[in-house]
Amino acid sequence: MEVIQWPGTRRTSDPEASATASSAGRLIRHVRQALHQGATIGFPSSNGYIAVTEAAYAGRLAGRLEVLVSGIGAALDWAPQLGYAGRRLAERVWPGPLVLIATEGVSQGLAARLDIRDRLLEGGEIRLRAADHASLQAVLQRADGPIFGVPLTEPVGVDLLLSTGRSVVAKPTVVHVNGDRWQIREAGTLDETSIARRLARSIVFVCTGNTCRSPLAETLCKKRLAEKLDCTPSELPLRGWMVASAGLAASPGLPAATEAIAVAQVRGADLSAHESQPLDERITSTADCLLVMTRSHLRALRTAGLGPITRLIHPDGHDIDDPFGSEHEVYEQCAAQIDSCLQRLVDEWLRRRP
């Protein structure tokens, strides 16, 4: 077995071959040539190694074949009708320790056109894995055709190994997806809770300082959703909902306003543990929807180009004014206004939930 350090040079007695692999670009060309010639190559990943070869030589791989893809777009070539759960996990986990088993539309995908379709579509299922190491990503980007692989329990039994020099004992989680349903087939790095959280719809309420209006919206929304789904607010992520809040000009770590805590408590919600946080890319990159309190918030976010779908919390387009520094009655009116908006929004979300 030939071994190449990634990045670095190949450990070999052939000086000409060592020069060929002296840079990442040359190394990738060397690997591609080996694949074209029928070699089986061990590629590194975040969860061990994968034995990889081209379609014409897939018979050399022992075990259930996985299709190596660059991302969700390529995955849809193999599973054209991939549903909510599959798309969501691909978008939120890949590249990462996840193998998707898909059944939706696979007979209309690329596998049906190949001579090895019986192996690829065993039981009417196909296994999809995204490349999560630079070496395999580079090969996929330049490949002339599909690339297949099988996981290696140990980095042995291949013609050429791209070694990272690190011992990796973790394994990917294998998840069967169908529509909005999913089931872990093979346990791995991502447990059931991790999968559920990545599938959850993420709603973020936004105000200015994240101490009054948006925290009230967050906790009252959690209460309404939990009541509708017959669970506790802490169980919402496992039921498909992540609810949070942030502020456009928030300082981190501040508690909710005392009056906000009080009016939330009267309505059966708890803000005692709230800590403010600024709205940043970490939050916006994973949110499905940002709900803001005023039209000025809406303009600010749209001007900055931040976030996903952004809309006013009030369905009729009215502002919800900041009660900061006001008397208890003003906070109560604010909470009542927010809660009324949430009643309509929660019903809308649950009707549209896939």
- From the number of C-beta atoms within 10 Å of its C-beta (0-12, 13-18, 19+), residue 204 rates as buried
Of the candidates 66, 254, 50, 85, which has an alpha carbon nearest to the alpha carbon of residue 148? 66
DSSP state of 70: S
Please report how many Cα atoms fall inside a 13 Å half-sphere around the Cα of residue 33, on the Cβ side: 9
* The predicted structure's pLDDT at residue 190: 93
Q: Which residues are paired to 42 by β-bridges?
A: 51, 161
* The predicted structure's pLDDT at residue 302: 86
Question: Can you tell me which residue has the tokens 């803000």?
Answer: 271
* The predicted structure's pLDDT at residue 23: 67
Give backbone dihedrals phi and psi of 244, rounded to 5 degrees, phi first: -145, 180
DSSP state of 193: H
Of the candidates 201, 210, 202, which has an alpha carbon nearest to the alpha carbon of residue 250? 210
- Listing DSSP states for 85-141 in one string gives HHHHHHHHH-SSSEEEEE-TTGGGSGGGGSTTHHHHTGGG-EEEEE--SHHHHHHHH
Give backbone dihedrals phi and psi of 227, rounded to 5 degrees, phi first: -65, -40
Give backbone dihedrals phi and psi of 243, rounded to 5 degrees, phi first: -125, 130
* The predicted structure's pLDDT at residue 330: 98
* The predicted structure's pLDDT at residue 7: 66
Say how far apart CA 28 and CA 321 lie, in whole Å: 58
Low-confidence ranges of the chain (pLDDT < 70): 7-23, 165-170, 306-307, 353-354
Q: Is the preceding peptide bond at 215 cis, omega within 30 degrees of 0?
A: no
* The predicted structure's pLDDT at residue 8: 47
* The predicted structure's pLDDT at residue 48: 79
* The predicted structure's pLDDT at residue 232: 96
* The predicted structure's pLDDT at residue 347: 93
* The predicted structure's pLDDT at residue 79: 97
Domains and CATH numbers, the chain: 2-197 (3.90.870.10), 200-349 (3.40.50.2300)
Say how far apart CA 114 and CA 71 lie, in whole Å: 21
